Copies of this chain bind each other. A is one copy, B any other.
Amino acid sequence: MPKGRVEAFSDGVIAIIITIMVLELKVPHGETLDVLRPLWPVFLSYILSFAYIGIYWNNHHHMLHRVKHVTGPVLWANLHLLFWLSLTPFTTGWMGENHFAPTPVAVYGFGLLMNAIAYTILVRTLIRSHGPDSDFAARIGGDIKGYISLAMYILAIGLSFVNAWISLGLFFLVAMIWFIPDRRFER
């Protein structure tokens, strides 16, 4: 089964997720710069989540470029990833509107963790459908970056109740690690 429509549907859903987050950035009443100032936590959360969703799109793009065919289980693993990604506008809005309070930061981190787990499941499902000796499986290799990310999300969730700013710093750090697209799928 060709992969074109899976790419198109994923592009559509991810494009909508990344764009509707801006609806959380509600137009304030008043015409001075003062009314924009209280929006900074919502705006900072928006930047962070925009970067994360952008990273997922980017790596999804790189990975599917190397995929030969999609099977039923791959379709479901992909839909499962889209489900967790679709909750990002909610966790982003909750964290931003509560000015990075401990629990919303932990829940935001939990969302990132689930995104990462869902992505890992998709990767494993693709490896299974291509076979362990395939070119695709060889490119994935040890996936060290993936395991570091998972560990840092769990650390950030725990630390959010000590100091939520450390957690936020870890979220930005993981984003920076991933900003370099997945070399495994380039030439």
Residues on B with beta carbons closer than 8 Å to the beta carbon of A15: 9, 12-13, 15-16
A186 with B1, Cβ < 8 A, contacts A8-B8, A27-B90, A79-B54 known: yes
Chain A window 33-59, contacts with chain B (Cβ cutoff 8 Å), 1 for yes, 0 for no? 100100000000001001000100110
Q: Is A57's CB under 8 angstroms from B103's CB?
A: no
Chain A window 57-87, contacts with chain B (Cβ cutoff 8 Å), 1 for yes, 0 for no? 1100110010000001001100100110011
Q: Is A50's CB under 8 angstroms from B9's CB?
A: no
Pick the contact of A11: B9, B22, B32, B61 (CB < 8 A). B9
Residues on B with beta carbons closer than 8 Å to the beta carbon of A36: 107
Query: Shortest 9 CB-CB distances between A and B: which pairs?
Result: A12-B15, A31-B101, A27-B93, A31-B98, A16-B19, A72-B181, A54-B79, A13-B15, A9-B11
The copy count of this chain in the complex is 4
Question: How close is A186's CB to chain B, nearest CB, in angstroms?
Answer: 7
Interface residues of A (CB under 8 A from B): 1-2, 5-9, 11-20, 22-25, 27-33, 36, 47, 50, 54, 57-58, 61-62, 65, 72, 75-76, 79, 82-83, 86-87, 89-90, 93-94, 97-98, 101-104, 107, 179-181, 186
Main secondary structure of the interface of A (DSSP, over half): helix
11 of the cross-chain contacts (CB-CB < 8 Å) are: A8-B11, A15-B16, A18-B82, A19-B86, A22-B86, A22-B89, A24-B27, A27-B94, A31-B98, A33-B107, A58-B79
Whose C-beta in chain B lies nearest to the C-beta of A15? B12
Residues on B with beta carbons closer than 8 Å to the beta carbon of A107: 33, 36
